[in-house]
Amino acid sequence: MKFFHVSDVQTIELPRIGRADGELVIAEGSAGVPFAIARVFTLRAPLGAKRGVHAHRHCSQLLVCVHGSVEIMSDDSRDQRTFTLDRTNVGLLVPPTIWNSITFREANSVLMVICDLPYREDDYIREYSDYLEFRKAGAS
Q: What is the residue-level pLDDT of the chain in tens, covering all 140 positions?
A: 899 999 999 999 999 998 899 898 988 887 789 999 999 999 999 999 999 999 999 999 999 999 999 999 999 999 999 999 999 999 999 999 999 999 999 999 999 999 999 999 999 999 999 999 999 998 75
Question: Of 52, 51, 73, 54, which Cα lies nearest the Cα of 130?
Answer: 54
Predicted TM-score (pTM) of the model is 0.93
Counting DSSP H helices and E strands in the chain, the numbers are 1, 12
CA distances from 131 to 18, 50, 68 (A): 41, 18, 30
DSSP H helical ranges for 1-139: 128-139
Distance CA 89, CA 4 (A): 24
